[in-house]
Amino acid sequence: MNEEYAAKCLAELGSPTRLAVFRLLVRAGHVGMVVGDLQRRLRIPASTLSHHIARLAWAGLVEQRRRGRSLHCFARTDVMDGLVTYLTAECCAGFDDEKTDQPAA
């Protein structure tokens, strides 16, 4: 995970619809969900949903595998874990003055 890729993932997750899709897929675990499931769940037109899933897949956050007529979608939780690790290391506290202050000066 680097800054550029982190920004890409954040941007793709930063849409209410896409975040909802991703959450549903995370909860579905490695069983995944087919696009139609997601559509019935989210009540949005197929083309719109397809667009959002494509963006998540483009960012590497979602994987799709065709099985018969259906496309199974899975959340790449390993990528998400990498993102969270990156954010924790680079964007959370830890550069605070407790660290940089001279102790007992």
Indicate which of its own copies, DNA, none lies near residue 44 (CB less than 5 to 8 Å, by partner kind).
DNA
Q: Give the span between the Cα atoms of 37 and 68, in whole angstroms.
A: 15
Give the footprint of DNA on residues 54-73 (CB under 7 A). Answer: 54-55, 64, 66, 68-71
Among 26, 41, 48, 84, binds DNA (CB under 7 A): 48
Closest CA to 20 of 46, 43, 47: 43
Q: Which two tokens stand for residue 76?
A: 């790449």
Total residues interacting with its own copies, rule: CB under 8 A: 39
Q: Which two tokens stand for residue 77?
A: 């939780």
CB of 49 to DNA, least distance (A): 6
